[in-house]
Structure formats: structure tokens, C-alpha cells
Structure 1
Amino acid sequence: MDMGISGKVAVITGSSSGIGLAIAEGFAKEGAHIVLVARQVDRLHEAARSLKEKFGVRVLEVAVDVATPEGVDAVVESVRSSFGGADILVNNAGTGSNETIMEAADEKWQFYWELHVMAAVRLARGLVPGMRARGGGAIIHNASICAVQPLWYEPIYNVTKAALMMFSKTLATEVIKDNIRVNCINPGLILTPDWIKTAKELTKDNGGDWKGYLQSVADEHAPIKRFASPEELANFFVFLCSERATYSVGSAYFVDGGMLKTL
């Protein structure tokens, strides 16, 4: 199936590993040029090398922290100078939290607000004008099932991902007139390196069966009884940004193996 993405420029934040890298690979497989945005230079270099070798597309590396205004400015300027603008933006950068509301300091709330929400706001302000000039585009926000079905141990993550979901909806109504489609994806259990790292840490003192631990998590939360691979999730991102999804605007899609318990 021709997705109509070949030759497009796709900016993906948090794209040196895990879900972000899988998304970048998904777009590169369809012939899109890739802007990899992440903080760790070594991982960026390796990801860029791999994409170029596998798919023969142009790859731009931008090593910045998008939780800062300066980092976003660097992304916008790099995209402008290298490609003249972007056609696709995937706001993927983010991480889980671990706290209680009673104990979490203001600084922690602010950090996650900047990373999960303001990065998306600033990137929209910076990249939408270029999309408009190119005739349109697509923006996807990677939120979480926790935006509507919270986990008790990460209230800050829950709240900021819910805010990102609402930002996605409101941005969609503002920019559709410019032929820019905005949507939100709320994943459930995705087998990322962070999940594996956590499972290994939690089981190191009682036998080390980290795979069994992850299976118990899947059995508890997902009717499909397994985690998704990052590639499975990435396929949905690519589809929503393609010419096969041109009537999808302002929606939130759950890719969660049945984990969501409400309508």
C-alpha cells in the first residue's frame, strides 16, 4: 500500500531508541527523510547510521533537550536550514514519573509539564508555519492510556499526558484550515527498553525472572495478554500521517490491546 509519505520530512522527538526509533524506522521504510531529535549524542549517531544504511534516506540528527525553549529553537532552525521545513511532526519525547502528590515538589511537576506539554506547544509554534507554506502536514502526539486511565504511582505523568491529549485536540481545530491534521495516540503496554530495565531491577533479588514479571503485567492489564512491540505501535503512527488517513482529525486513538476499561 502506497502511504504517500515518500520524500516527506518527518521530525520525531525522543527518537534515538524505543518507540521513537521504531517510528523513525517506520517512516524511513516508506521513503520519508528523518529528523532524529534526542539528548544522547552516541545513540543518535547509531540510530542515524542504521536508518541511512537500511533505507537510504536523508537523516538529520539534532541533539537537544526539547523540554527547553532553546532546544526547540535548535530543532526548528535545523529543520529550516536543512529541509526548508517539515511535513510531519511526532511529539514522542517523554518519560514515566514515580511519586505521590503529597510528596512531589513543584520542580518535578514543572519538569514534566515542560517535557510533555510545552515541548509540543513550542514545536507547533515553530514548525506549523513551514507546514502551512508546504501545503499542509500531519502532527501526532504520543500521549498514553494513562491520560484517561491513570496509574496510581505516577500522578504527574497522568496529569501531563492528559494535558497533552487536550492540547492535541485544540491544536487540531486551529490548524486544520491549513490542511494540517493533528491527532493523538494513547498507547498501552509497549515493550520498550525502559520496561525491560524496570522489570530486571524489580526481579534481581528474587530469581531474576524479568520476562515472567512482564507477562504478569500483561496478564493483569491487557486482554490480549502481551505487550506490543514498538514496531506494532509505529505502524499506526505511519498510517495516521499517511494519505490513507486524510479524514482523521482531532481524534485520540487507543493502541492498547484492550487495556482501556471504559467506552
Structure 2
Amino acid sequence: MDMGLKGKNAVVTGGSVGIGLAVAEGLAAEGANILIAARGGERAETEAARIAARFGVTARGVAADVATVEGVDAVIAAAAAMGGADILVNNAGTGSNETIMEAPDEKWQAYWDLHVMAAVRLARGLVPQMRAKGGGVVLHNASICAVQPLWYEPIYNVTKAALMMFSKTLATEVAMDNIRVNCVNPGLILTPDWIKTAKQLTENTGGDWQGYLQSVADEHATVKRFGTPEELANFFVFLCSDKASYSVGSTYFVDGGMLKTV
């Protein structure tokens, strides 16, 4: 199926590993040019070079902490240098671990900047580029925790919920510019962070990190397994394509049945 993405310029934040890298590869496989933004510039450039060689597209990496104004400005400038963004995938983010009673203001602010203000600032900078090109796509990678919170990460829950609402609000503002904005709420996706955490939690109890992950899947996912980054990326690629032309301002759950409500 031709997704109509050949020659489009896609910006993927947090794009050097895990879900972001899978999305970048999925878009490149459809002929899109890729700008990978990540805090680790060397890794971003290495992955971009690999993607360019594998898929025959233009791919570049930019060192950028999108939780900062300076990092966002670097992404906007790099996208302009590629000819302007057609697609923005706001993927950069990370889980948290705290209680509301004990978490300091600084931690709340750091996650707000990473999960919400990065999306706000990137929209301000990249939407004008999309308008100049006649339209575009913005996708936000939030989380099932935006609507079904986990008790041990209240800051993550709250900021991802805010990102989901920002996505809806932005969609309303730019729809008539032929810019489609949507949000994806993944469930359990087997990223390197999950594997790292599982290994840390089991290192003193036998090291069965695979068994630990299976127990998490058994508890939360109806299908009793984690999804792969590639499975999730397939959905992102579809939403970026012209096959999803009537998908505007929506939130989609890709969670293996983890959501317990309708």
C-alpha cells in the first residue's frame, strides 16, 4: 500500500532509540526523509546515517534536549534546513517514580517541560513550516497512563494527560490549515528502558528479568504480552499517511487490551 509519504520531511523527537527509532525507520521505509532529534547527538547521527543507507532517504541527526528552549530551537532550525517539516512526531519522554507527597516542584517542572512544553514550542516553530508547504501531520506519543494512571508515577500520569489535551486543542486550531493532529496512547511496549528496569529489579532475586516482564504483561495486557516498538510504529506511520486523511483530533489506544474502560 502506497502511504503517500515519499519525499516528506519527518521530525521525530527521542528518535535515536526505542519507539522513536522504530517510527523513524517505519517512515523512512515509506520514503520519508528523517530528522532524528535526541539528547545524544552522536547516537542520533549514527542512527540517521544507518537509516539513510538502508532506505535511500535523506536522514539527519540533531543534538537537542527538547525540554529546553535551546533544544527546540535547534530542531526547528534543522527542519528548516531540510526544507521544512511535513510531519512532527512528539515522542521524547520518560517514565517517573515518586509520590505526590514527596516529589519536589523541580521534578514536576522538569516533566512538564519535557512532555508538554516541548510539544507546545515545537508546534509554534514547525506548524508555520507546514502551513508554508500546504499542510502536515502532528502526532503526540502520550500513554495509556493519561487516562488509566499507574500509582507509582503520578507526574508521568498528569503530564501525559496534559499532552493528550494539548493534542486535541492544537488539532482544533490548525485543522483548517490542512494540518492533522492526533494522539497515540500506547500500553506496554518493550523498549530498552523496560528491559533495563526489569534487569535492575531482578538482579538480587535470580535475574529472571524476562519472567518479571511476563508477569507485568499477565497483569495488565489482555493479550498477555508486550507490544514491540515496530508494532506501534506501524500505527504511527498509518496516521502520518494520506490513508488517515479523516483522522483529526483523536486519541488512539494501542495497548493490547490494557485499557479497562470504553
- Which of the five TM-score ranges fits, normalised by the shorter chain? over 0.9
| 1:68-107 map, 5 Å | 68-80=68-80, 82-107=81-106
Q: Does 1:258 align with 2:257?
A: yes
1:181-192 equivalent positions in 2, closer than 5 A: 181-192=180-191
Q: Which moved more, 1:34-43 or 1:183-192?
A: 34-43
3-state SS in 2 of match to 1:153? coil
User: What is the letter of the counterpart of residue 27 of structure 2?
Assistant: F
Q: Which amino acid aligns with 2:56?
A: G
Secondary structure of the structure 2 residue equivalent to 1:206:
coil
1:118-157 to 2 correspondence within 5 Å? 118-157=117-156
State the 1:42 CA deviation: 2.8
User: What displacement does 1:70 show?
Assistant: 1.0
Aligned residues: 262
Q: Distance in 1 between matches of 2:252 and 2:47?
A: 27
User: Could you say what secondary structure the match of 1:254 adopts?
Assistant: strand
Does the CA-based 8 Å contact 2:35-2:48 persist in structure 1?
no
TM-score by length of 1: 0.99
Task: Name the % identity.
Answer: 76
Counterpart amino acid of 2:169? T
CA separation in 2, counterparts of 1:184 and 1:138?
11
Task: Note the residue ranges of structure 2 that are not aligned, 5 or more in a row.
Answer: none
Cα distance, 1:43 vs. partner? 1.6
Q: Gaps spanning 5+ residues in structure 1: where?
A: none
Kindly provide the CA deviation profile for residues 179-202 of structure 1, in whole angstroms up to 9, marking residues without a partner as x.
000000000000000000000000
The one-letter amino acid of 1:120's match is A
Deviation at 1:44, TM superposition (A): 1.1
RMSD (Å) for aligned C-alpha atoms = 0.6
C-alpha distance in structure 2 between counterparts of 1:104 and 1:52, whole Å? 42
Deviation >2 Å, runs of 4+: none
Shift of 1:84: 2.3
1:206-217 map, 5 Å:
206-217=205-216
Q: Which residue of 1 aligns with 2:16?
A: 16
- Post-superposition offset of 1:46: 2.2
* Per-residue deviation, 1:50: 1.4
TM-score by length of 2: 0.99
Matching residue's letter, 2:21:
L
The yes-or-no answer on 1:202 pairing with 2:196 is no
Matched to 1:72, the amino acid is V
Q: CA deviation at 1:60?
A: 1.6
